[in-house]
């Protein structure tokens, strides 16, 4: 049994495609068997809504009169520094950027109440954002300073570009020390007082396509409530890790670099977030459709939380000191 993407797209255009979620397909395969399920189901939808620190947005703000060149100068959005080492009026704001006057962890644990992820959320929500920039001035770009309010509806471009999203499995974080610690995995209580994890398990995109049979460069996705695309593999992409017999990785493995037009995304599906004692980030929704092209593909999408194992890692010592120690494994059903 095999299908083509063209055949599935034609069924979608005619309103005849059978689309189910990654949770629904588990029972379908159990009840009907993989061969029949692969014949009947055309698309399996996957998704996640998690903190994605390696995210940010390129903005083209348009030219002032007289012209100014941000490149080589400094620039801020709501007092959060943005990268200005590009052309005249392009800047990049990272989700983890912080205002210069944020006390960070000088007052421990720091609150990190506002940063890059919040600026991107405010832009998407249509709020006016303060922009300030200084430049050194040139003959063709003579202006040396600008302060104004910008709005996403008025600037030329707002492109979300995230270099590492949708991690294919990840650590379960615990704390073996006798004090509370503050991490990007959240607050960890002493003496194994809690365990934090960050994966959608059986719904997670790359856990449903463990061998990257359908998800790759150019895949059209739902990003922040709007249309996005897989641009490349993400940074730290490492498919060569320990895997179970079902080929699902048991460690952090694949990642995706994603891109999309921020202007057509939706508030609520992209949020700035503050992690006490760690910093700021952005919580982002990602939805990826998996076309059912073969029995092999639907078997992969039928993976359940019971079949997905994640490593337990001590974040008080092993993680910060780059020790390879794994305390054990746990399934997402147990989590």
Q: Which residues are catalytic?
A: 140
Give the C-alpha distances (Å, rounded to integers) separating 170 from 191, 331, 332: 21, 12, 11
From 71, 123, 135, select the one nearest 95 (Cα to Cα): 123
CA distance 82 to 58: 10
- Residue 128 C-beta-side C-alpha neighbours within 13 Å: 4
SS3 326: coil
Q: Is 23 exposed, middle or buried (0-12, 13-18, 19+ CB in 10 A)?
A: middle
From 148, 154, 163, select the one nearest 60 (Cα to Cα): 154
DSSP states of 252-317: S---EEEEEEGGGS-TTSEEEEEETTTEEEEEEEEEEEEE--BHHHHHHHT--GGG-EEEEEETTT
Helix (H) or strand (E) holding 13: helix 5-13
């Amino acid at each position: 049994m095999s299908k083509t993407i063209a055949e599935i797209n034609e069924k979608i255009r005619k309103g005849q495609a059978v689309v189910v979620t990654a949770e629904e397909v588990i029972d379908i395969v159990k009840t009907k068997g993989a061969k029949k399920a692969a014949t009947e189901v055309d698309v399996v939808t996957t998704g996640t809504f998690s903190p994605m620190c390696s995210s940010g947005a390129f903005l083209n703000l348009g030219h002032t009169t007289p012209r100014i060149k941000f490149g080589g100068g400094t620039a801020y959005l709501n007092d959060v520094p943005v990268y200005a080492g590009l052309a005249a009026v392009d800047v990049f704001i990272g989700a983890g950027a912080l205002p210069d006057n944020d006390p960070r962890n000088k007052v421990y644990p720091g609150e990190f109440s506002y940063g890059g992820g919040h600026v991107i959320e405010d832009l998407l929500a249509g709020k006016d954002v303060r922009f300030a920039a200084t430049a050194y001035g040139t003959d063709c770009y003579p202006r040396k300073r600008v302060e104004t309010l910008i709005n996403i509806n008025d600037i030329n471009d707002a492109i979300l570009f995230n270099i590492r999203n949708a991690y294919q499995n990840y650590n379960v974080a615990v704390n073996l020390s006798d004090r509370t610690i503050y991490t990007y995995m959240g607050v960890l209580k002493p003496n194994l007082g809690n365990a934090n994890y960050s994966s959608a398990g059986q719904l997670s995109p790359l856990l449903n396509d463990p061998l990257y049979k359908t998800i790759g460069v150019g895949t059209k996705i739902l990003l922040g409530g709007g249309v996005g695309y897989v641009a490349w593999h993400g940074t730290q992409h490492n498919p060569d890790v320990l895997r179970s017999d079902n080929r699902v990785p048991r460690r952090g493995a694949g990642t995706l670099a994603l891109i999309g037009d921020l202007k057509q995304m939706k508030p609520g599906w992209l949020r700035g977030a503050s992690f006490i004692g760690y910093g700021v980030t952005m919580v982002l929704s990602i939805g990826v459709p998996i076309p059912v092209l073969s029995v092999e593909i639907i078997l992969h999408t039928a993976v359940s939380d019971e079949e997905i194992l994640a490593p337990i890692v001590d974040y008080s010592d092993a993680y910060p000191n780059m020790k390879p120690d794994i305390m054990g494994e746990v399934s997402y059903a147990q989590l």
